[in-house]
Amino acid sequence: MAERLPSAKEASQSRVEILNKYGEKLVGVLHDAGSKKLVILCHGFRSSKDESIFLNLTSALTSQGISVFRFDFAGNGESDGIFRYGNYRREAEDLRSVILYFSEQKYEISAILGHSKGGNVVLLYASVYHDVHTVINLSGRFALDRGIEGRLGRDFMQRIEKDGFIDVKDRTGKVEYRVTEESLKDRLDTDMHAACHSIDKECRVLTIHGSKDEIVPSEDAMEFAKLIPNHKLYIMEGANHSYAAHQGGLASVVLDFLKSNQVEDADTMRSI
């Protein structure tokens, strides 16, 4: 049974719609805890802003007076657009549109946090844009050439070369989504090794990964730790990919990291 967190202190909620650079409407929910410090949450593959992991993190953050925005990438959840396999850089650009919007609203983006594929997206964002100095990667995949066979089958390359696409079906035979040759290439061409080297050393990065992750092996977290210059690694013993029985522990680690950053920032200001 999934562990549930205590309910948050009262934080006002409002639906927010933001246009991305392609004119698509990104839909999210702003939880304003009375603070202009804002944490932005980014969901994973075929997920949404409404996953329990984000609802629980939102409760934990707002209970500590931290405002939160959780949103759907284009082609997911309530947002406009067509779902695309791959799409890592384009989702990083969606995040860019969100950050620019809230910066214009005079919010301070104190952290960006992504789960699974969202973890890759926040790291890619940090490798290109250097305006957010705290990044939290939950269970992101380092080696993007892995994990494909499990979804598409061992002969995925031959099928793509023959037909130009693969339709992924559920157990009833209904098509869930289509993987095109272009979208598969997008995933395979996304180089997390290079991205890690492009993250500023001033950017503080935390990677959290479950030791029992059944989708992305915890060894991937070790690779991030080797390459990102200002990096902390936390392996959560017994946690699976969705942290189903570890929601409270996950929230505690995230909050501790955010609070430690605030202390470091205050110490830096005093030393100037």
For residue range 137-164, list pLDDT tens digits in order.
999 999 998 888 877 877 888 888 888 8
Q: Which amino acid makes up residue 251?
A: A
Is the confidence at residue 247, as pLDDT, over 80? yes
Q: Please report which confidence band the pLDDT of residue 11 belongs to, taking 50, 70 and 90 as the band edges.
A: confident
Domain for residue 18, yes or no? Answer: yes
User: Helix or strand or coil: residue 197?
Assistant: helix
- Helices (H), strands (E): how many in the chain? 9, 10
CA distances from 44 to 11, 91, 181 (A): 25, 10, 21
Domain span at 119? 12-144+190-257
Domain for residue 179, yes or no? Answer: no
- How far apart CA 240 and CA 223 sit, in angstroms, is 19
Of 120-124, 146-150, 208-212, which range is least confident? 146-150
Nearest Cα residue to 22 out of 79, 103, 104 = 79
Number of separate domains in the chain: 1
Q: Which amino acid makes up residue 206?
A: L
CATH number at residue 229: 3.40.50.1820
Domain for residue 66, yes or no? Answer: yes
pLDDT digit string (tens) for 157-200?
A: 888 888 888 888 888 888 888 899 899 999 999 999 999 999 99
What is residue 7's predicted lDDT score, i.e. its pLDDT?
A: 45
Domain for residue 56, yes or no? Answer: yes
- How far apart CA 55 and CA 32 sit, in angstroms, is 14
Residue 210 contacts by C-beta under 8 Å, 6 or more apart in sequence?
A: 139, 218, 235, 236, 238, 239, 240, 241, 243, 246
Is the confidence at residue 33, as pLDDT, over 90? yes
Domain for residue 194, yes or no? Answer: yes
Is the confidence at residue 268, as pLDDT, over 50? no
Domain for residue 225, yes or no? Answer: yes
